[in-house]
């Protein structure tokens, strides 16, 4: 069996692989189908909830839809220059979108993501963004037309309507390793830790140079999501291609200590096959197995987690919507003479629950005030300790510099004080922020549980009356990450100098007197700077703490009211329909039955996706066993 036969699936009657019959028509659709199914059913769930006036379900279903729709799966294509990275990406896109050529080209990373039409935007180091005509893309991303990135391009973003990108895949065409420009190699390495999957490309003409072996060492920690490709197999005969693939596999296995899968491909034939719609060229390119495995890794590494999370949320929300519809259906079936009393009793219970929830929010406000008090205490303790410790360190540093000229001492003290102050404050701020974040998460969990329990109690009362029940639904928040803190570092030189001109007096005063006055002003200045920056840090943390607490209170209030309000609307609507007469109540009952049937269909479709995700084994390009 040669290298190609080892990477093909069982053949169909016409000799083409089962997997490749899918690829030749576009790309494997497993992930796309599952994602589309979940998105469609989340949309449907939101629409059904909106129609039923169950706002909490409608809002959360929309949120789940947007979260899944905007999920991004990042694929970095890496390798030495002239390995065919841009051609491979063009093959995945099915279009000659990226510049390719004879000379080493890519010098600026290009991110390719889905868009309704082909459009390129250049983002510059100075913050500017400029739309670039697609025919001028090379002038921004290639070494030939933008040598050493003299135009200051940080990255280029290319939007493309390719099916491969539709599911949130973002491909990064990294600068080639080992061109004459070292900055290209560094820029390429920067993308590796951020990628959900990586492709390392070599070629049959000169497989695995030292630079590529260095790259292999860099990807050691990412083997579960790294693909090794040997390109340009169309340029040699099958025996030579097999020899090159075996060589690469052997070297990689020895270097990494694991058996790795190596994919022989021809990016050129794959691109030509896609552009011309020639399934024969696609088959000859041997790209099908790679694409299928890549999709599985993306699905399980990140896409699967996103899908699984969205499915779980969708199923919970379908259950909650079903609960509200079941409640309304049960009320519509209850004799009118009994329904009025039941509804009134339940509405009274809802009002009592609202009062109890206001008490819960009041207690939350008290806990937040205690947290603010603990912040003030922490700031005071840090201020005292930092004033003392930084003062002592500064004095010791002064003693180490005392033999230098006085102005040099002042300059060195300014540098030391500034660096130490920022370092100490940043370290303390991070620790204090983590403490506050942990405590806020604890408070969020506690009060969300109490809110959910209160909703559950109301639902239990409804269950006693109508025989329906739903588990509580709760989510937590966290401390906002954006910080507005900045450090005020005063001009230490004037603060340290005596009132009289130092240049005039320093030759006249004993050196010990001059340094004594510097020491005195140093300690005073340290105390002032510590105090000022403690105020800045406290303000930053306090603002974010209060904002997070405000959002938590608003979220708890909103979700409780929407949950309880939806129950109240269902009960009042059922009572009003029954009071309108038999025709109206029967029409209302038919409407609810139809909605319940649709919710059941949504649930079954989401369950089917969940089963497909659970049944699929998690793939790995590298198998962790000794060769």
Bridge-partner residues for 158, per DSSP? 112, 120
pLDDT at 445: 82
The whole-chain average pLDDT of the chain stands at 79
Residue 18 covered by a domain:
no
DSSP 311-323: HHHHHHHHHHHHH
pLDDT at 235 over 70: yes
pLDDT at 425: 87
* Cα separation values, 420 from 260, 315, 416, 495, Å: 48, 53, 6, 17
585 and 530 in one domain? no
Residue 4 covered by a domain:
no
Q: CA-based Rg of the chain, rounded to a whole angstrom?
A: 33
pLDDT at 598: 96
DSSP state of 200: E
Angle, vertex CA 68, rays to CA 62 and CA 69, nearest 5? 85
Predicted confidence band of residue 10 (pLDDT cuts 50, 70, 90) = very low
- For 555-620, the three-class secondary structure string (H helix, E strand, C coil) is HHHHHHHHHHHHHHHHHHHHHHHHHHCHHHHHHHHHHHHHHHHHHHHHHHHHHHHHHHHHHCCCCC
Residue 626 covered by a domain:
no
Residue 9 covered by a domain:
no
Residue 129 covered by a domain:
yes
Measured between alpha carbons, how far is 80 from 608 in angstroms, rounded to an integer?
Answer: 43
Q: Assign residue 187 the CATH number of its domain.
A: 3.40.50.300
Residue 11 covered by a domain:
no
Measured between alpha carbons, how far is 121 from 77 in angstroms, rounded to an integer?
Answer: 20
375 and 280 in one domain? no
The H or E element that residue 397 is part of is helix 336-401
pLDDT at 622 over 80: no
Which of residues 118 and 29 earns the better pLDDT score? 118
190 and 44 in one domain? no
Supply the range of the domain harboring residue 341: 334-580
Please give the tally of structural domains in the chain. 3
Q: Assign residue 328 the CATH number of its domain.
A: 1.20.120
Task: Kindly state the average pLDDT of the residues 33-58.
Answer: 92
Predicted confidence band of residue 144 (pLDDT cuts 50, 70, 90) = confident
pLDDT at 48 over 70: yes
Q: Which of 301, 321, 352 is the last residue of a domain?
A: 301
Which of residues 392 and 81 earns the better pLDDT score? 392
pLDDT at 188 over 80: no
Structure tokens at 565: 């309000």
- Residues 200 and 263 sit within 8 Å (Cβ to Cβ): no
DSSP 307-375: HHHHHHHHHHHHHHHHHHHHHHHHHHHS-HHHHHHHHHHHHHHHHHHHHHHHHHHHHHHHHHHHHHHHH
Residue 21 covered by a domain:
no
pLDDT at 221: 65
pLDDT at 603: 94
Predicted confidence band of residue 589 (pLDDT cuts 50, 70, 90) = very high
Q: Which of these ranges, 89-93, 251-255, 297-301, 316-320, has the smallest mean pLDDT?
A: 297-301
DSSP 120-174: EEEEETTS-EEEE-GGGTHHHHBTTTSGGGTT-EEEEEEEE--GGGTTSEEEEEP
Task: Find all residues with CB under 8 Å of 235, minimum gap 6, and list them.
Answer: 204, 205
476 and 424 in one domain? yes
Predicted confidence band of residue 594 (pLDDT cuts 50, 70, 90) = very high
pLDDT at 203 over 70: yes
DSSP 160-178: E--GGGTTSEEEEEPPPBT
Task: Find all residues with CB under 8 Å of 471, minimum gap 6, and list them.
Answer: 316, 319, 456
3-class secondary-structure state, position 117:
coil
Q: What percent of the chain has pLDDT over 90?
A: 25
Please, what is the angle between helix 55-69 and helix 511-580, to 10°? Answer: 130
Predicted confidence band of residue 292 (pLDDT cuts 50, 70, 90) = confident
Nearest by Cα to 141 from 112, 166, 164, 170: 112
Query: What contacts 24+ positions apart, CB below 8 Å, involve 211-214?
Result: 211/80, 211/177, 211/178, 211/185, 212/79, 212/80, 212/177, 213/251, 213/255
557 and 607 in one domain? no
pLDDT at 293: 85
pLDDT at 150 over 50: yes
- Residues 184 and 177 sit within 8 Å (Cβ to Cβ): yes
187 and 60 in one domain? no
pLDDT tens per residue across span 124-141: 877 788 898 888 877 887
pLDDT at 110: 83
pLDDT at 78 over 90: no
Structure tokens at 363: 């207690």
450 and 310 in one domain? no
pLDDT tens per residue across span 307-366: 888 898 899 899 989 988 999 999 999 998 899 899 999 999 999 999 999 999 999 999
The H or E element that residue 381 is part of is helix 336-401
Predicted confidence band of residue 209 (pLDDT cuts 50, 70, 90) = confident
Q: How many helices and strands (H and E) does the chain possess? A: 18, 11
441 and 308 in one domain? no
- Rounded to the nearest 10°, the torsion over CA 284, 289, 291, 293 is -170
Predicted confidence band of residue 13 (pLDDT cuts 50, 70, 90) = very low
498 and 488 in one domain? yes
Measured between alpha carbons, how far is 98 from 77 in angstroms, rounded to an integer?
Answer: 13
Measured between alpha carbons, how far is 236 from 150 in angstroms, rounded to an integer?
Answer: 39
pLDDT at 220: 67
205 and 79 in one domain? yes
Structure tokens at 84: 């065919």
Measured between alpha carbons, how far is 170 from 72 in angstroms, rounded to an integer?
Answer: 7
531 and 398 in one domain? yes
pLDDT at 601 over 90: yes
- The count of C-alpha atoms lying within 13 angstroms of the C-alpha of 18, restricted to the half-sphere facing its C-beta, is 3
The H or E element that residue 77 is part of is strand 73-79
Residue 532 covered by a domain:
yes
pLDDT tens per residue across span 485-534: 343 443 333 333 333 333 344 455 566 776 777 778 778 888 888 888 89
- Residues 201 and 79 sit within 8 Å (Cβ to Cβ): yes
Predicted confidence band of residue 617 (pLDDT cuts 50, 70, 90) = low
- Residues 83 and 202 sit within 8 Å (Cβ to Cβ): yes
Q: How many CB atoms lie within 10 A of CB 194?
A: 10
Q: Which of these ranges, 142-156, 211-225, 429-443, has the smallest mean pLDDT?
A: 211-225
Distance of CA 19 to the CA centre of its chain: 31
433 and 469 in one domain? yes
Structure tokens at 598: 């649709």
pLDDT at 282 over 70: yes
pLDDT tens per residue across span 369-425: 999 999 999 999 999 999 999 889 888 888 888 788 877 877 888 888 888 888 888
pLDDT at 2 over 90: no
pLDDT at 34: 85
Task: Kindly state the average pLDDT of the residues 169-177.
Answer: 77
Task: Kindly state the average pLDDT of the residues 286-304.
Answer: 79
Give residue 123's region: left, alpha or beta (phi > 0; psi -120 to 50): beta
Q: What percent of the chain has pLDDT over 70?
A: 79
Structure tokens at 358: 């206001």
- Residues 332 and 578 sit within 8 Å (Cβ to Cβ): yes
Predicted confidence band of residue 618 (pLDDT cuts 50, 70, 90) = low
């Amino acid at each position: 069996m040669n290298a190609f036969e080892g990477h093909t699936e069982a053949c169909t009657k016409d000799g083409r692989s089962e997997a490749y019959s899918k690829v030749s028509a576009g790309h494997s659709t497993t992930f796309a189908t599952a994602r589309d199914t979940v998105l469609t059913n989340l949309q449907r769930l939101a629409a059904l909830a909106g129609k039923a006036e169950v706002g909490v379900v409608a809002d959360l279903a929309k949120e789940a839809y947007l979260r899944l729709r905007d999920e991004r799966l990042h694929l970095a294509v890496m390798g030495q220059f002239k390995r065919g990275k841009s051609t491979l990406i063009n093959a995945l896109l099915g279009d000659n979108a990226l510049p390719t050529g004879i000379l080493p080209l890519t010098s600026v990373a290009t991110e390719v993501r889905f868009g309704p039409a082909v459009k390129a935007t250049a983002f510059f180091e100075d913050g500017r963004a400029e739309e670039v005509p697609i025919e001028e893309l090379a002038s921004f991303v290639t070494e030939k037309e933008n040598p050493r990135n003299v135009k200051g391009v940080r990255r280029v973003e290319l939007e493309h309507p390719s099916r491969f990108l539709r599911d949130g895949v973002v491909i990064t065409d990294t600068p080639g390793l080992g061109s004459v420009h070292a900055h290209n190699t560094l820029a390429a390495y920067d993308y590796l830790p951020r990628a959900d999957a990586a492709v390392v490309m070599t070629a049959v003409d000169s497989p695995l140079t030292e630079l590529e072996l260095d790259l292999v060492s860099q990807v050691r920690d990412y083997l579960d999501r790294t693909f090794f490709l040997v390109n340009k197999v169309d340029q040699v005969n099958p025996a030579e291609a097999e020899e090159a693939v075996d060589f690469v596999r052997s070297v990689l296995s020895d270097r990494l200590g694991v058996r790795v899968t190596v994919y022989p491909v021809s990016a050129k034939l794959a691109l030509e096959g896609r552009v011309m719609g020639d399934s024969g060229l696609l088959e000859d390119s041997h790209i099908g197995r790679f694409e299928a495995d890549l999709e599985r890794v993306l699905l399980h590494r990140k896409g699967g987690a996103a899908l699984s999370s969205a499915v779980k949320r969708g199923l919970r929300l379908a259950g909650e919507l079903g609960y509200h519809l079941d409640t309304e259906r049960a009320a519509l079936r209850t004799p009118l003479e009994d329904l009025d009393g039941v509804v009134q009793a339940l509405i009274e219970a809802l009002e009592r629950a609202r009062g109890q929830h206001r008490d819960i929010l009041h207690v939350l406000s008290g806990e937040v005030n205690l947290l603010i008090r603990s912040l003030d205490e922490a700031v005071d303790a840090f201020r005292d300790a930092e004033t003392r410790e930084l003062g002592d360190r500064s004095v010791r540093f002064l003693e180490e510099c005392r033999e230098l000229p006085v102005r040099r001492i002042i300059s060195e003290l300014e540098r030391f004080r500034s660096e130490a102050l920022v370092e100490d404050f940043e370290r303390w701020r991070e620790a204090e922020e983590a403490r506050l974040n942990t405590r806020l998460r604890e408070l969020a969990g506690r009060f969300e549980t109490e809110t959910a329990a209160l909703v559950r109690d109301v639902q239990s009362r409804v269950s006693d009356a109508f025989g329906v029940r739903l588990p509580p639904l709760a989510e937590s928040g966290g401390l906002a990450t954006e910080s507005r803190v900045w450090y005020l570092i005063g001009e230490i030189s004037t603060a340290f100098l005596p009132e009289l001109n130092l240049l005039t007096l320093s030759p006249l005063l004993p050196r010990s007197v001059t340094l004594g006055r510097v020491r005195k002003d140093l300690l005073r200045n340290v105390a002032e700077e510590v105090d000022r920056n403690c105020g800045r840090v406290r303000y930053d943390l306090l603002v974010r703490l209060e904002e997070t607490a405000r959002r938590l209170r608003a979220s708890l209030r909103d979700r409780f009211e929407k949950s309880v309000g939806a129950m109240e609307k269902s009960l009042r609507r059922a009572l009003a329909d029954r009071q309108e007469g038999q025709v109206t109540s029967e029409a209302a009952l038919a409407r609810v039955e139809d909605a319940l049937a649709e919710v059941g269909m949504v649930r079954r479709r989401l369950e089917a996706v969940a089963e497909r995700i659970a049944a699929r084994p998690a793939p790995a390009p590298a198998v962790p066993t000794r060769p």
